[in-house]
Structure 1
Amino acid sequence: MTSKPIRTVGGAERAAPAGRFDRRLIAPMILGSILNPINSSMIAVALVPIGVAFGAPPSETAWLVSGLYLATAVGQPVIGRLVDMYGPRRLYLIGTALVGAAGLMGALAPSLGVLIAARVLLGLGTSAAYPAAMQLTRSETERTGQDSPAGVLTALSVANQTVAAVGPALGGFLIGVGGWRAIFTVNVPLSVACLVLGAMWLPRTTTVRERRGVDLPGMLLFSATLLSLMYFLMSPRLAHWWLLPLAAVAAAGFALRELRTAVPFIDLRVLGGTVPLLVTYLRQLLGYTTLYCFMFGFAQWLEEGRGLNAAGAGLVLLPLSLSALTVSGLTGRREAVRGKLLVGGVLQVVGCGLLLLLHSDSPVWLLLAVGVVMGIPQGLIGLANQNALYRQAVPERIASAAGLLRTFSYLGALGASAADAAFFAHGADTAGLHELALFMAAGSVLLVLVILPDRSLSTLTPTLSSGKA
Structure 2
Amino acid sequence: MTSLLHRTPPPGAAAAGFDRRLVLPLMLGSILNPINSSMIAVTLVPIGIAFGAPPAQTVWLVSALYLATAVGQPVVGRLVDLYGPRRLYLAGTALVGLAGVLGALAPSLAVLVASRVLLGLGTCAAFPAAMYLIRSEARRTGKDSPAGVLTALSVTNQTIAIVGPTLGGLLVGLGGWRTIFTVNIPLSIACLVLGSLRLPRSTPLEAPGRSARGVLSDIDAVGMVLFAATLGAFMTTLMTPRWWWLAIVTVLVGAAFARHELRATTPFLDLRVLATSRPLLATYARQWLGSIVAYAFLYGYTQWLEGTRGFAASGAGLLLLPMSVTSVVVATVSGRRPQIRRKLVVGAVGLVAACTLVLTLGDSSAVWLLVGVAVLAGVPQGLLSLANQNATYHQADPGRMGSAAGLLRTFLYLGAIVASAAVAAAFPRGTTSAGLHGLAWFLVACAVGLLVLVLADRSLSRVGARSAAP
**Fold match (TM-score > 0.5):** yes
Q: Name the counterpart of 1:37.
A: 34
The letter for the 2-side match of 1:86 is Y
Write out aligned runs for 1:39-438 (5 A). Answer: 39-206=36-203, 208-209=205-206, 211=215, 212-237=217-242, 240-438=243-441
Question: 1:7 Cα deviation (Å)?
Answer: 4.4
Q: Does the 8 A contact of 2:78 with 2:403 survive in 1? A: yes
Whole-angstrom CA distance in 1 between matches of 2:144 and 2:205: 23
Task: Say if 1:209 and 1:365 are closer, same or farther in 2 by CA, change over 3 A.
Answer: farther
Describe the superposition over 1:62-116 as per-residue Cα deviations: whole angstroms up to 9, x where unpaired: 1111100101111100111111111111111111111101000100111111111
Please give the secondary structure, in 1, of the residue aligned with 2:98: helix
Q: Does the 8 A contact of 1:29 with 1:133 survive in 2? A: yes
Please give the secondary structure, in 2, of the residue aligned with 1:420: helix
Identity %, equivalent residues: 61
What is the root-mean-square deviation of aligned Cα atoms in Å? 1.4
Whole-angstrom CA distance in 2 between matches of 1:462 and 1:135: 22
Describe the superposition over 1:139-179 as per-residue Cα deviations: whole angstroms up to 9, x where unpaired: 11111112241000000000000100000000000001111
Whole-angstrom CA distance in 2 between matches of 1:258 and 1:438: 37
Q: Does the 8 A contact of 2:394 with 2:463 survive in 1? A: yes
Question: 1:263 Cα deviation (Å)?
Answer: 2.2
Whole-angstrom CA distance in 2 between matches of 1:169 and 1:81: 34
The letter for the 2-side match of 1:231 is T
- Structure 1 unaligned blocks of 5 or more: 9-13
- Structure 2 unaligned blocks of 5 or more: 208-214
Number of residue pairs matched by the alignment: 460
Question: 1:15 Cα deviation (Å)?
Answer: 5.0
Q: Name the counterpart of 1:11.
A: none
Task: Say if 1:63 and 1:206 are closer, same or farther in 2 by CA, change over 3 A.
Answer: closer
Please give the secondary structure, in 1, of the residue aligned with 2:59: helix
Q: Does the 8 A contact of 1:65 with 1:417 survive in 2? A: yes
Question: 1:267 Cα deviation (Å)?
Answer: 1.8
Whole-angstrom CA distance in 2 between matches of 1:42 and 1:226: 24
286-295 or 199-208: bigger deviation = 199-208
Q: Does the 8 A contact of 2:82 with 2:204 survive in 1? A: no
Question: 1:5 Cα deviation (Å)?
Answer: 2.1
Say whether 1:26 aligns with 2:28. Answer: no
Task: Say if 1:248 and 1:420 are closer, same or farther in 2 by CA, change over 3 A.
Answer: same
Q: Does the 8 A contact of 2:38 with 2:162 survive in 1? A: yes
The letter for the 2-side match of 1:399 is G
The letter for the 2-side match of 1:319 is P
Q: Does the 8 A contact of 2:17 with 2:141 survive in 1? A: yes
Whole-angstrom CA distance in 1 between matches of 2:203 and 2:155: 32
The letter for the 1-side match of 2:231 is L
Whole-angstrom CA distance in 2 between matches of 1:205 and 1:235: 44
Whole-angstrom CA distance in 2 between matches of 1:348 and 1:388: 19
Q: Does the 8 A contact of 1:59 with 1:235 survive in 2? A: no
Please give the secondary structure, in 2, of the residue aligned with 1:5: coil
The letter for the 2-side match of 1:341 is L
Say whether 1:5 aligns with 2:7. Answer: yes
293-302 or 254-263: bigger deviation = 254-263
Describe the superposition over 1:327-350 as per-residue Cα deviations: whole angstroms up to 9, x where unpaired: 001100002211000101011010
